[in-house]
Structure 1
Amino acid sequence: MADADTNTELQAKLEAAQAEIEALRAELEETNRGVLALYAELDTQADHLRQATELKSRFLAYMSHEFRTPIGAIRSIARLLMDRVDGPLTEEQERQVAFIQRNAAEFADMVDDLLDLAKVEAGRVEISVEWFEMVDLFSALRGMFKPVLTNPEVTLVFEEVPADIPRLFTDDRKLSQILRNFVSNALKFTPRGEVRVSTQRVGDGLIRFSVADTGIGIAPEFHETIFNDFTQVASPLQKRLTGTGLGLSLSKRLAHLLGGSVALESELGKGSTFSVTIPVELKADAT
């Protein structure tokens, strides 16, 4: 009788264990179906995101090209007026035409930034590397900014290239574009003082370019987002200036293409230092 009771008890436990296993198996199958559904949803969302990104890049590229023709026409007409081709201008007319020229030039810069961003996002930016001297790059930048230094209270300084800076093997046009964006921003947000461009070796095979200013500075809460697309720092000076907020974002992406990175050090009211660090020699597999 005791053996029969024991067998019955064991049978009951076995059936309970089997029932629990079946329940767990059913729960596991349901979880697996949920995971598969989630993966399918993620794949769909990723596909939609890729399509949206592609459409945005195509839209930016298309609009940039379309804007170039009217901008070019405006700049050409303004240049003819300033050259007095159709006769002399009054002082007020000259001031107004100069205003048109400045705004058309800024608009052209915005369009170029949009087009470059579209190319980067579409993976259609070509890196063309060659050996060049830093002295030549600084000299070209100095000449480029000389005509736009209209504020007598701001000085643009290019420090002498240190003796330990070797020739660079990278895309000098992309590097120049990054530095132009840094310098342009620094000049915009520096009412008085100086903007200083310098370079130094910072490690084995690395070189850092810095653009330091004595301008309005950037509050800490903007440090993490300043290199994001369309980011603009809220300030009274910003309200009087134009721009897309794409220059720094584009610089970050170009620096990545050159195998480097960008950084910011800034204190509100005391100025900012934007820097880009890249390898002295860009390896072929990095392009």
Structure 2
Amino acid sequence: MRIARFSLDGNVAFGVVEGAELDIIKGHPFGEFERSGQKVPLDKIRLLPPVLPNKVVAIGRNYVEHAEELGHTVPDVPVVFFEPSTSVAGPGDPVHYPAFSSEVHHEAELAVVIGRMCKEVPRERAREVILGYTCANDITARDIQRAESQWARAKGFDTSCPLGPWVETELDPADLAIQCTVNGEQRQLGRTSEMVRSIEDLIVHITEAMTLLPGDVILTGTPAGVGPLDGGDEVAVTIEGIGTLTNKVIKRD
């Protein structure tokens, strides 16, 4: 099931995507809901970020070749960092190139959307706390990341975390193709099976320390091939079984 968050005539709601239409739901996807039977064409609505997370918990260096391309080794424990809710953008939203950076990179990632409050989740129950999966672009000010020991500015500037286009709830994430294109040219191509640590392992590790809330998002790392973006670029992240998240980069004059 594909669950989208959308705006229509100034109202925000959730719906189930079926082909070129969306069936508006009664309730919200983090609890019991019903389909209303009221359907609207996708081209008549504006897709929004599929969730508004309390927090985005991101994982660094979870693909060996990506760590190597930046001159790093894979750490003994996952690299965990946060991105604020204000970094989240939706499908089709502009990504604003930060004025304080001169080197901004794309990073295509599989995002895990948490479905219920959880803490200290055992590995065998990790899938139970997942609502579904969506596409993410962990856009990074690479020069700032190199210059500052904390990644808050490099990874957390406004619009740096596009998510979408919807949440796919019925998906096996173990071996999915992840692709990133810029202006139609392929930059990244990898598979989730190349992750150093699985989604289950990441949920266990994260929830040892903190409570995850419904709508929170885990970014699972990016495959090799990250590279620069510039003003006017159209960047698209496509994940097998989910769809494509497309954004345009806007650079201040």
The structure with the greater share of residues assigned to helix is 1
TM more than 0.5: no
Under TM normalisation by the shorter chain, which class is it?
under 0.3
The structure with the greater share of residues assigned to strand is 2
TM-score relative to the length of structure 1: 0.24
Greater length-normalized contact order (CA 8 Å, ≥ 6 residues apart): 2
Rg bigger for which structure?
1
